[in-house]
């Protein structure tokens, strides 16, 4: 296993270790990109299920946090509402 990641949610402590030879060496980075998985891991400060604190979270190749299921649902609802507003505005222009 080339990396070991430790995250203490109580202390909000995030540590990354890389295997070098037969021992793990602590890295100073606050994010870890894993080429083989094409995904990164880092600490995000935000609201998840009503609990605001630091969370261990995945990010994509552009550095964007990967949306949670709750965020995906909210984005879909926002898009639906926006489309409905545009439809209503178009109807009003026709009248």
**How far is the CA of 58 from the CAs of 1, 32, 44, 84, in angstroms?**
19, 9, 9, 32
| Nearest one of 50, 86, 43 to 70, comparing CA atoms | 50
Q: Are residues 73 and 60 in the same domain?
A: no
The whole model's pTM is what? 0.74
Phi, psi angle pair for 51, to nearest 5°: -115, 110
Asked if 53 and 71 sit in the same domain, the reply is: no
Same domain, 41 and 8: yes
The predicted structure's pLDDT at residue 37: 93
28 and 5 part of one domain: yes
pLDDT score of 95: 67
- Range of 26's domain? 1-64
pLDDT confidence band for 94 (50 / 70 / 90): confident
The tally of domains found in the chain comes to 2
pLDDT in tens, 8-65: 988 889 999 999 999 999 999 989 999 999 999 999 999 988 999 999 999 999 999 9
């Amino acid at each position: 296993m080339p990396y070991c990641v430790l995250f203490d949610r109580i202390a909000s402590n995030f540590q990354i270790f890389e295997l070098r030879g037969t021992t793990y060496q602590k890295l100073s980075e606050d994010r870890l990109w894993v080429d083989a998985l094409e995904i990164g891991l880092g600490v995000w400060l935000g609201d998840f299920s009503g609990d605001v604190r630091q969370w261990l979270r995945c990010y994509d190749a552009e550095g964007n946090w990967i949306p949670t299921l709750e965020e995906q649902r909210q984005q879909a609802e926002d898009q639906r509402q926006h489309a409905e507003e545009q439809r209503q505005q178009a109807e009003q222009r026709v009248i």
